[in-house]
């Protein structure tokens, strides 16, 4: 039996200093039945010259700047593979990623299989492990409690098309939105406990702007919430998890001093579930503190505690 073809889709915008390494990590995969597709999103630096240097080893296309999500969606349209691996230009695939994950896809029968990764320290941005294990239970709850980096999963192309791919109007958190919608579609998620990619965080990137990221979560949450509502799949546990997702964001807003945004998210959380997500967002001592002192004072205390911990390192 022949193994399925996989298309590695790379969006590129002004990534002259990174794109070569990303492409090399894609071409270096030992899995033979693959293609590498790069969609240049109107780069104005030397990115295209680097891309052209790979000759016919990759397929590429260049157009006007429409954003990374539009470039990814275009790459999926160009893809001849049944499976899709997304790769951003500042990230890397580890050797063997495709072989190991595709073997898991085929043996598990999962609609989507993701793996663990690592974050590389660059220009003062903290590194870290991106491992977040998965026990196979409700993927909607899993996705509400944390996101998946773009290169973590391998997707069946048919599933991406079934949900309309990336929503291109979102300025950030697009991968959180996509993976949550796939979960709401009723797909079976699978997990491979291997560290198989590196996220090279760049100072000033969209992913480093926490307020901008949180600002998208309200639309993302309601879109997915209504998907489940229309499908008759919005259980009590899921309602509480959606509320907890927004209430947790409200806590972060408070720590950033953004009280109006925090108030809005707490109010929206109460619309999703009568408990307002407070049980999900506040655990242990912080739940007691909130009851005694209120949300603002609790977050001030938590922020101070974290500051002291950071200073003591």
Domains belonging to the chain, first-starting first, are: 6-208 (3.90.550.10), 210-311 (no CATH)
- The terminus-to-terminus CA distance of the chain in angstroms comes to 54
CB distance 62 to 40 below 8 Å: yes
Lowest average pLDDT, out of 12-16, 188-192, 267-271, 300-304, goes to: 300-304
The answer to whether the CB of 216 falls within 8 A of the CB of 173 is yes
What angle, rounded to 10 degrees, do the helices at 259-272 and 236-255 form? 170
What are 187-242's pLDDT values in tens digits?
999 999 999 999 987 655 555 589 999 999 999 999 999 999 999 999 999 999 99
Question: What are the angstrom distances between the C-alpha of 239 and each of 236, 282, 296?
Answer: 5, 16, 25
The pairing of strands 59-62 and 34-40 is parallel
Q: Could you tell me the pTM of the whole model?
A: 0.89
pLDDT category, 133, cuts 50, 70, 90?
confident
Q: What is the pLDDT of residue 137?
A: 92
- pLDDT at site 130: 73
Could you report the per-residue pLDDT of 157-176, keeping only the tens digit for each? 999 999 999 999 999 999 99
Q: Whole-angstrom Cα distance, residue 248 to residue 269?
A: 10
Closest CA to 50 of 22, 70, 25: 22
């Amino acid at each position: 039996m022949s193994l399925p073809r996989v298309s590695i889709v790379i969006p590129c915008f002004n990534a002259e200093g990174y794109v070569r390494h990303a492409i090399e990590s894609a071409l270096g995969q030992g899995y033979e039945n693959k293609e590498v597709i790069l969609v240049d999103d109107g780069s104005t630096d030397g990115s295209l010259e680097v891309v052209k240097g790979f000759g016919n080893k990759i397929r590429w296309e260049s157009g006007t700047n429409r954003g990374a999500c539009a470039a990814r969606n275009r790459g999926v349209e160009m893809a001849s593979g049944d499976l899709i691996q997304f790769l951003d230009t500042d990230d890397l695939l580890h050797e063997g990623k495709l072989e190991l994950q595709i073997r898991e896809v085929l043996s598990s029968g999962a609609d989507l299989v993701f793996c663990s990764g690592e974050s590389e320290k660059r220009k003062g941005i903290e590194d870290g492990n991106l491992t977040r294990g998965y026990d196979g239970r409700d993927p909607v709850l899993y996705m509400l409690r944390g996101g998946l980096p773009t290169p973590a999963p391998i997707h069946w192309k048919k599933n991406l098309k079934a949900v309309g791919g990336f929503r291109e109007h979102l300025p950030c958190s697009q991968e959180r939105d996509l993976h949550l919608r796939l979960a709401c579609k009723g797909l079976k998620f699978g997990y491979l406990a291997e560290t198989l990619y590196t996220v090279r965080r760049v100072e000033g990137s969209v992913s480093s702007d926490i307020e901008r990221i949180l600002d998208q979560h309200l639309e993302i949450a309601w879109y997915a919430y209504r998907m489940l509502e229309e499908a008759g799949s919005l259980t009590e546990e899921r309602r509480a998890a959606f509320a907890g997702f927004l209430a947790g964001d409200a806590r972060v807003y408070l720590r950033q001093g953004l009280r109006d945004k925090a108030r809005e998210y707490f109010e929206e959380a109460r619309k999703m579930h009568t408990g307002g997500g407070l049980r999900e967002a506040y655990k242990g001592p912080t739940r007691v503190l909130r009851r005694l002192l209120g949300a603002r004072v609790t977050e001030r205390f938590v922020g101070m505690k974290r500051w002291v911990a950071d200073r003591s390192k």
